[in-house]
Amino acid sequence: MRTVLLEDVAGIPVEGQNGLVWKPVRACLGIQAFGINAYTASEAGEQVVEEHDELGGGAGKHEELYVVVNGSARFTVDGATFEAPAGTCVFLDDPGERRAAVALEAGTTVLAIGGERGQPFRVSPWEFNFRAAAAPTPAEARAIVEEGLAEYPGKGALLYNLACYEALDGAREVALEHIRAAVEEDPKLLAYTATDADLESIRSDPRFPTS
């Protein structure tokens, strides 16, 4: 048996989302049967569930249950908006439903539980990328993304981030190889390559993908 207080799970700031902190509950407790993580917004008005569906490049095609643990949130699901005070359970059985939530109180925390119907649980690709973003060095981040690629060979979202960490780590040749493979697998990633600062060291190379 293992126990942990949510407030004691070390949080990881979500890149590009001011005030949103991801708490890796699944990894903290070593859970392998299902996905479970928490999100906390530091201030009212900030996102506590990023806008997404479960069909994107880094998603796991999961059914998801969101539980508002404390505070209050305003959810928007496929255009329908409703308030969810503490204790509310929001179940999305369709992975294609577009969902997001904004905190209505500072410190609002939402627990997210998910898995793909009828399939053994696999850690979603995005979780490897979130963990890698918090790694103290590019070399450690590379190792985490490589774990993800062992589970999802050729996954564009993982290859993209691996290329970023390789470029930061001075591994230009493999970074170029992986950024080209990432864009080939998921052409939508090309939109980020022109401005991503992590790729600055390889962008001038003629082999860098531009179209």
Specify if 157 maps to a domain.
Answer: yes
Residues 146 and 107 in one domain: no
CB contact at 8 A, 146 and 129:
no
pLDDT of residue 48: 97
Specify if 168 maps to a domain.
Answer: yes
pLDDT of residue 211: 82
Contacts for 182 with CB less than 8 Å, ≥ 6 apart: 156, 157, 159, 160, 162, 163, 189
The domain of 90 spans 6-115
The pLDDT confidence band at residue 165, using thresholds 50, 70 and 90, is very high
pLDDT of residue 56: 81
Residues 129 and 59 in one domain: no
Least confident range from 15-29, 77-91, 100-114, 147-161: namely 15-29
User: For a pLDDT cut of 70, what percent of the chain falls above it?
Assistant: 100
How many structural domains compose the chain?
Answer: 2
Alpha-carbon distance of 193 to 163, in angstroms, equals 11
Residues 22 and 78 in one domain: yes
Residues 138 and 192 in one domain: yes
Residues 11 and 96 in one domain: yes
CB contact at 8 A, 189 and 182:
yes
pLDDT of residue 19: 87
